[in-house]
A and B are shown apart, each in its own frame.
Chain A
């Protein structure tokens, strides 16, 4: 859908500008959305609507249909003399179904779904398409009763996934994706009906729009609360993971819209922790690492057409996979050894800093996971002179500060050789600055870093004291969470 629309609608740059403008206008809504996400109530659905502008002229907003009208349209669609008449009846029904009230009326009408399914499976192709569009409207409802009313149609939606009409398949996939989100009963039926093998067959389609739609449907399936036990194992056992990773491989064939969907799918699978070593075995780490390099390259060429949409899931996937113990045990080939990853990550961090600061924690999280257990990544950080750019991120927010300091701790704890590269330098003044923060976590992490610095670079103590470090420390000695560390550091400083 992405690529098709981008080609047709407007130039890419405008789309992104438009997005940014809308974002600025939607701050209050964003806050509500973040709240919904925290409460795990963020339900995302996709609606494909292709009402041509000409239809808008006939009275922009479609009217709510009453029972008699719904019945009439259904009858006309089923038994109309002319095909155009039948199609027209379904189009009118579809427009009415944009309203929740009409949707309710429809499902309460006896035999309505049966009629619609009959039209969905008719041998009149255009009726079939319109019937599918009606179903699609119903799938957009936020009420699970309406989703459940669509249960009789699911076996057919799945059957049509192995057809050849790409627009139709796309429609079926989006409809399925929407239904999946809304009702566990639907998912409970779709799994034995063979949705996983159907998707595994469909993912070999050459059509980009179909792949995007499939990614969407799959991502909804993977977010189900019962996914880790009931869904993800069969997905991992299928050929889906290999195909997903193929679509994430950088190169001329990479399609951003498709890649975004499958990157999120991968993220949900990895989060479930059902079998991450399996994914690593399929080369997930190297594919994602190469993709990260590719993203950094695209950013440098200032092509950021929705790039941030791909960066977030890729960063999360990499970060999570790095925590797998398997990474260390599997050995050289599978590990993410490529140290260009650090450079690429910093390019992305710079990009986020300028354009999307809310994504900084995602990038820093990956940096943390890279540096935590790997001296070589710490060395890369130092040899690429990335400490200063890192310190520049400190003022962004408390969350970012804590993460920057954690990364620096990762480097410092590798030993004296590393600390020697950290100080002398801008680190100490930066720490004195963060000690003045009011946020306990920031201060706490600063104390950790100071402790490591004093341990491996005792000469730093003097300079610390000269720059009123002690006073900076003492400001926090009443704080319960920080007391012990403050005291310990004071002692170290005074003794040294």
Chain B
């Protein structure tokens, strides 16, 4: 009977793991990534460590993410000041669920969406709102999520490297009033880019929002 056969197969009749070989052990070696001093004696372990901790790492704040998708979202939302500006005018916070194209005005709105529509946990660890202190480890116990963000330039004391925004941008300002100045500066830069025929995606976004 075909179904019975299928069942037996799945019950591991063919693949009894009882005599599975142990993980091949190698002489202990250390992870070669700068700053990482973990030591391993099995290649499988090292592979998993590498992918988890060094695979999708934000080059600005060194946070590690489980996937390229989440890393991209993080970089955009945390380290791209253009994003902050644009998010004042249009919904920029993309839903984190792959396949869902919804966008939101704020990180909080997005979280509400994740919880209500996608049944995600309220404390989903890969959707932390931006904090103003520097991150030390990715293991963040359930701390406050009250910090408001999604407002431009609320990154006052965050010691992060410069974002991929156009040249000449400074990240030392924290007041809203200054943001207008910044906006104008960015727009000027983008006009320059436009004239130069640059197809930089953000420039296009600016152009769209201008219309």
Does the CB pair A37–B3 fall under 8 Å? yes
Q: Mark A25-50, 1 if CB is under 8 A from B, else 0.
A: 01000100110010000101111111
Q: Does A9 sit at the interface, judged by CB under 8 A?
A: yes
Q: Does A316 sit at the interface, judged by CB under 8 A?
A: yes
Take A37-B7, A128-B52, A264-B6 as given contacts and tell me if A163 and B67 are in contact as well, using a CB distance cutoff of 8 Å. Answer: yes
For A33, the chain B residues whose CB sits under 8 A away are 4, 7-8
Q: Which of B40-48, B148-156, B165-173, B185-193 is found at the contact surface with chain A? A: B40-48
Q: Which of B12-20, B77-85, B176-184, B194-202 is found at the contact surface with chain A? A: B12-20
Q: Does B143 sit at the interface, judged by CB under 8 A?
A: no
Does the CB pair B121–A155 fall under 8 Å? yes
For B98, the chain A residues whose CB sits under 8 A away are 162, 194, 197-198, 201
Q: How far is the CA of A128 from the CA of B4 in the complex (A)?
A: 35
Q: How far is the CA of A118 from the CA of B138 in the complex (A)?
A: 11
Q: Of the candidates B6, B64, B99, B100, which one forms a contact with A44 in the assembled complex, judged by CB atoms under 8 Å apart?
A: B6
Within 8 A of B (CB), among A39-72: 42, 44-54
Q: Which of B86-94, B112-120, B203-211 is found at the contact surface with chain A? A: B112-120
Q: Nearest B residue to A33 by beta-carbon distance?
A: B4
For A121, the chain B residues whose CB sits under 8 A away are 125-126
For A52, the chain B residues whose CB sits under 8 A away are 20-23
Does the CB pair B3–A42 fall under 8 Å? yes
Take A33-B4, A34-B1, A193-B119 as given contacts and tell me if A47 and B138 are in contact as well, using a CB distance cutoff of 8 Å. Answer: no
Q: Does A125 sit at the interface, judged by CB under 8 A?
A: yes
Q: Does B58 sit at the interface, judged by CB under 8 A?
A: no
Within 8 A of B (CB), among A160-178: 160, 162-165, 167-168
Q: How far is the CA of A223 from the CA of B193 in the complex (A)?
A: 55
For B44, the chain A residues whose CB sits under 8 A away are 167
Does the CB pair A9–B20 fall under 8 Å? yes
For A156, the chain B residues whose CB sits under 8 A away are 125
Does the CB pair A123–B139 fall under 8 Å? yes
Within 8 A of A (CB), among B119-142: 119-121, 124-126, 137-139, 141
Q: Does B164 sit at the interface, judged by CB under 8 A?
A: no
Q: How far is the CA of A362 from the CA of B5 in the complex (A)?
A: 13
Q: Of the candidates B10, B19, B55, which one forms a contact with A46 in the assembled complex, judged by CB atoms under 8 Å apart?
A: B10
Q: Does A225 sit at the interface, judged by CB under 8 A?
A: no
**How far does the Cβ of A8 sit from chain B's closest Cβ, in whole Å?**
6
Q: Does B32 sit at the interface, judged by CB under 8 A?
A: no
Number of A residues contacting the other chain (C-beta, 8 Å)?
Answer: 68
Q: Which of A307-315, A383-391, A417-425 is found at the contact surface with chain B? A: A307-315
Q: Of the candidates B17, B118, B126, B137, which one forms a contact with A49 in the assembled complex, judged by CB atoms under 8 Å apart?
A: B17
Take A33-B7, A44-B7, A52-B20 as given contacts and tell me if A162 and B67 are in contact as well, using a CB distance cutoff of 8 Å. Answer: yes
Q: How far is the CA of A238 from the CA of B13 in the complex (A)?
A: 33
Q: How far is the CA of A126 from the CA of B28 in the complex (A)?
A: 15
Q: Does A359 sit at the interface, judged by CB under 8 A?
A: yes
Q: Nearest A residue to B98 by beta-carbon distance?
A: A197
For A216, the chain B residues whose CB sits under 8 A away are 10
Q: Does A481 sit at the interface, judged by CB under 8 A?
A: no
Residue of B12, B15, B138 with most partner-chain A CB within 10 A: B15
Q: Mark B38-78, 1 if CB is under 8 A from A, else 0.
A: 00000011011101110110000000101111100000000
Take A34-B4, A308-B5 as given contacts and tell me if A194 and B100 are in contact as well, using a CB distance cutoff of 8 Å. Answer: yes
Does the CB pair A2–B4 fall under 8 Å? no
Q: Does B2 sit at the interface, judged by CB under 8 A?
A: yes
Does the CB pair A192–B2 fall under 8 Å? no
**How far does the Cβ of B157 sit from chain A's closest Cβ, in whole Å?**
24
Take A50-B17, A193-B118, A198-B98 as given contacts and tell me if A163 and B51 are in contact as well, using a CB distance cutoff of 8 Å. Answer: yes
**How far does the Cβ of A170 sit from chain B's closest Cβ, in whole Å?**
11
Q: Of the candidates B14, B15, B120, which one forms a contact with A155 in the assembled complex, judged by CB atoms under 8 Å apart?
A: B120
Q: How far is the CA of A362 from the CA of B121 in the complex (A)?
A: 46
Q: Does B9 sit at the interface, judged by CB under 8 A?
A: yes
Does the CB pair B97–A193 fall under 8 Å? yes
For A1, the chain B residues whose CB sits under 8 A away are 15
**How far does the Cβ of A34 sit from chain B's closest Cβ, in whole Å?**
6
For B144, the chain A residues whose CB sits under 8 A away are none
Does the CB pair A123–B13 fall under 8 Å? no
Q: How far is the CA of A163 from the CA of B68 in the complex (A)?
A: 7
Does the CB pair B48–A165 fall under 8 Å? yes
* Shortest beta-carbon contacts, A-B, top 10: A197-B99, A52-B22, A312-B2, A165-B51, A162-B67, A125-B49, A125-B52, A44-B10, A123-B138, A194-B97
Q: A34-B1, A42-B3 are in contact. List 8 more A-B contacts (CB 8 A).
A: A9-B20, A22-B13, A52-B21, A124-B139, A156-B125, A163-B67, A168-B51, A359-B2
Could you give 6 example pairs across A and B, Cβ below 8 Å?
A: A45-B11, A50-B23, A53-B19, A129-B45, A163-B67, A313-B2
